[in-house]
């Protein structure tokens, strides 16, 4: 079983559209949507939910209003301005969005009126789609620790892939180069960067390529809508050589991408056009690399 992670370095490059198309081409795959801050793979794969679990991470302070004597000591030590005294009752009130779970308030409360609860940060879900089983997640507004949730989604996807004995796990990774991206590529078999032929796209693809290099993960790159700026596309292709990445091709700008999205389909499920032909060729090249 091989795990391919599709990343982009920045948002808006068409990474999710490419990842969904690859999942369809793989035929037998478990799909993991690790873009947990802005998950949208479900828009193309129309999942039918079969399992839903709460994701908890970190802690939030809670007040026992019976025990609180309203002395305000906790409010004075909180560096995050997460505690106020209620103007009516005079008791401490915690703002859960501002609380960082540092524990300073619990240390100073002589009335033992404060304690910690595990913070509910979102949900992770298992769903069935026409491309295979999808593991995805929803992070609550303002919730943190997306890296931990990404690791959880990947772990669940791997155990389902082993159970179902499918040859592929296709991961739609998060944008950027932060903690969530590191969590999505660690120990993967290969990374595909969907780059964009813009100045920022070129800059960001190099950053994620260096990240994949650091973790010694085999690296592929393609440029989406590369015909819009052939010069930058050529530069990305040249950089791929330097960065030890295999350049798989240039996906041309194709209106069929939009038409497919309006129908809730991937580009490889619509009438054959230039972009879908290139994506099929990308998939053939990736498969070639992993032939036994
Ligand atoms: S330190 Fe304890 S008793 Fe004092 S206001 Fe805070 S919670 Fe209430
Ligand atoms: S745990 Fe830290 S951040 Fe949260 S309310 Fe207490 S002092 Fe403030």
pLDDT at 292 exceeding the cut of 70? no
pLDDT digits 0-9 by tens, 218-244: 999 999 999 999 999 999 999 999 999
pLDDT level of residue 272 (50, 70, 90 thresholds): confident
pLDDT at 139 exceeding the cut of 90? no
Residue 177 has what pLDDT?
83
Give me ligand 1 centre to Cα 84, in Å: 10
List, in order, residues 6 or more apart from 4 with CB less than 8 Å away: 22, 168, 169, 170, 171, 188, 189, 190, 191, 192, 286
- Going by alpha carbons, the residue nearest to atom 4 of ligand 2 is 99
- 166 or 256, higher pLDDT: 166
Give me ligand 2 centre to Cα 38, in Å: 28
pLDDT at 17 exceeding the cut of 90? yes
63 touches ligand 1 (CB under 6 Å)? yes
Domains of the chain: 2-56+122-289 (3.40.50.300), 65-112 (3.30.70.20)
101 touches ligand 2 (CB under 6 Å)? yes
Ligand located closest to 82 CA: 2
Ligand located closest to 75 CA: 1
- Going by alpha carbons, the residue nearest to atom 1 of ligand 1 is 109
1 touches ligand 2 (CB under 6 Å)? no
pLDDT digits 0-9 by tens, 23-66: 999 999 999 999 887 888 888 899 999 999 999 988 999 999 99
Q: Given ligand 1 and candidates 111, 115, 116, which is best to mutate, with the most ligand atoms within 8 Å of its CB?
A: 111
- Going by alpha carbons, the residue nearest to atom 4 of ligand 1 is 71
Crossing angle of helices 199-214 and 230-242, rounded to 10°: 20
Q: Which of 74, 132, 127 is nearest to 104 (CA)?
A: 74
CA distances from 182 to 54, 65, 83 (A): 23, 42, 34
**Token pair listed for 239:** 């950089």
102 touches ligand 2 (CB under 6 Å)? yes
Residue 41 has what pLDDT?
87
pLDDT level of residue 145 (50, 70, 90 thresholds): low
Q: Which of 46, 12, 11, 18 is nearest to 171 (CA)?
A: 18
Taken in order 3, 160, 178, 258, is the CA torsion positive or negative? positive
pLDDT at 165 exceeding the cut of 90? yes
DSSP-derived secondary structure letter, 253: P
pTM over 0.75: yes
182 touches ligand 2 (CB under 6 Å)? no
pLDDT at 170 exceeding the cut of 80? yes
Q: Which atom of ligand 2 is nearest to the CA of 104?
A: 7
Question: Per-residue pLDDT averaged across 265-272, rounded?
Answer: 90
Question: Per-residue pLDDT averaged across 179-184, rounded?
Answer: 92
């Amino acid at each position: 079983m091989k795990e391919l992670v599709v990343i982009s370095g920045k948002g808006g490059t068409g990474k999710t559209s490419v990842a969904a198309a690859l999942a369809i081409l793989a035929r037998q795959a478990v799909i993991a949507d690790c873009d947990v801050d802005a998950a949208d793979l479900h828009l193309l794969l129309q999942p039918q939910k079969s399992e839903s679990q709460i994701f908890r991470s970190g802690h939030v302070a809670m007040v026992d209003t019976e025990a609180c004597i309203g002395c305000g000591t906790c409010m004075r030590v909180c560096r995050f301005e997460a505690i106020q005294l209620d103007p009516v009752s005079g008791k401490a009130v915690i703002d859960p969005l501002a609380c960082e779970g540092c524990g300073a308030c619990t240390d100073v409360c002589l009335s033992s009126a404060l304690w910690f609860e595990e913070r509910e940060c979102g949900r992770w879900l298992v769903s069935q789609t026409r491309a295979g089983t999808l593991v995805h997640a929803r992070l609550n507004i303002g919730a943190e620790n997306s890296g931990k949730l990404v690791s959880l989604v990947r772990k669940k996807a791997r155990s389902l892939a082993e159970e179902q004995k499918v040859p592929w796990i296709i991961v739609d990774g998060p944008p950027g180069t932060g903690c969530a991206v590191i969590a999505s590529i660690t120990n993967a078999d290969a990374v595909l960067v969907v780059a964009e032929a813009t100045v920022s796209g070129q800059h960001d693809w190099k950053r994620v390529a260096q990240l994949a290099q650091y973790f010694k993960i085999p690296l592929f790159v393609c440029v989406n809508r590369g015909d819009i700026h052939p010069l930058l596309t050529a530069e990305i292709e040249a950089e791929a050589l330097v960065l030890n990445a295999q350049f798989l091709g240039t996906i041309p700008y194709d209106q069929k991408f939009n038409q497919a999205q309006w129908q809730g389909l991937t580009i490889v499920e619509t009438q054959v056009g230039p972009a879908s032909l290139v994506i099929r060729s990308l998939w053939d090249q990736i498969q070639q690399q992993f032939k036994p």
